Chains A and B, each alone.
Chain A
Amino acid sequence: MTQLSWLHRTVILALALGVAVMPTLYPWSQVLLTLALAKGLAVLGVVVLLQAGQVSFGHAMFVAIGAYSATFLGRALGGGDLVVVLLGGVLTSVAFGLVIGVFVVRYRYIFFGMLNLAFSMVLFSLLEKFFHITGGSDGLRVLRPTLFGQSLDRATFEGILFYLTLALALGLGWLVHRYLQSPLGQALSAVKSNETRLEYLGVSARHVLLVGYVVSAALCGLGGVIIGLVQGLVTPELGYWVRSGELVFIAILGGASNVTGAFAGALVFEVVRTYAAAFAANIWQMILGGVLLLIVLFAPGGLIALYGNSVKKLFARTRTEP
Chain B
Amino acid sequence: MTPQLALLATLDGIAYAALVFMVAVGLTMIFGVMRILNVAHGSFYAIGAYSAASIVLGLTAAGMNPWLVFPGLLLAAVGVGAVLGTLIERLLLTRIYTKEPVLQLLVTFAVFMILEDVQRLVWGVRPYFAAEPVYLLGNVQVVGIFYTAYQLILLPTVALLVLVGLRLFLRRTLSGRLIVAVTEDREMATALGINAGRVFLLTFVLGSTLAALGGALASPTTSLVPGIGADMIVLSFAVVAIAGLGQVEGAAIAALMIGLGRSFAVYVMPELEVVVPYLVMVIVLLIRPEGLFGVVERRRI
Residue positions of A touching B, CB distance < 8 A? 50, 53-55, 57, 103, 106-107, 109-111, 113-115, 117-119, 121-122, 125-126, 129-130, 194, 196-197, 241, 245, 248, 252, 282-286, 288-290, 292-293, 296-297, 300
Measured CB to CB, the closest approach of chain A to B46, in angstroms, equals: 13
Contact: A118 with B105, CB < 8 Å? no
CB of B16 within 8 A of chain A? no
- Measured between beta carbons, the chain B residues less than 8 angstroms from A114 are 37, 234, 237, 241
- Measured between beta carbons, the chain B residues less than 8 angstroms from A289 are 109-114, 117
Measured CB to CB, the closest approach of chain B to A213, in angstroms, equals: 16
- Measured between beta carbons, the chain B residues less than 8 angstroms from A245 are 109, 113
Measured CB to CB, the closest approach of chain A to B257, in angstroms, equals: 15
Contact: A283 with B102, CB < 8 Å? no
Which of B103, B238, B275, B282 is in CB contact (< 8 Å) with A300? B103
CB of B185 within 8 A of chain A? no
* Interchain Cβ contacts within 8 Å, total number: 114
Given the contacts A110-B101, A118-B238, A300-B103, A285 and B274 also touching, CB distance less than 8 Å: no
CA distance A181 to B267 in the complex (A): 53
- Output the nearest chain A residue to B291 by Cβ-Cβ distance: A111
- Output the nearest chain A residue to B121 by Cβ-Cβ distance: A282
Residue positions of B touching A, CB distance < 8 A? 31, 37, 92, 95-96, 99-103, 105-107, 109-114, 116-118, 120-121, 230, 234, 237-238, 241, 271, 274-275, 278-279, 281-282, 285-286, 289, 299-301
Given the contacts A196-B299, A286-B117, A296-B103, A118 and B110 also touching, CB distance less than 8 Å: no
Contact: A292 with B275, CB < 8 Å? no
- Output the nearest chain B residue to A297 by Cβ-Cβ distance: B95
Apart from A109-B101, A293-B110, 5 more pairs, CB < 8 Å? A53-B100, A103-B282, A118-B278, A285-B117, A289-B117
- Measured between beta carbons, the chain B residues less than 8 angstroms from A282 are 117, 120-121
- Measured between beta carbons, the chain A residues less than 8 angstroms from B275 are 121-122, 125-126
CA distance A245 to B153 in the complex (A): 39
What are the 6 tightest A-B residue pairs by CB atom distance, in nearest-first order? Answer: A289-B113, A286-B117, A289-B114, A292-B110, A110-B37, A289-B110
Contact: A296 with B237, CB < 8 Å? no
Contact: A286 with B271, CB < 8 Å? no
Measured CB to CB, the closest approach of chain A to B110, in angstroms, equals: 4
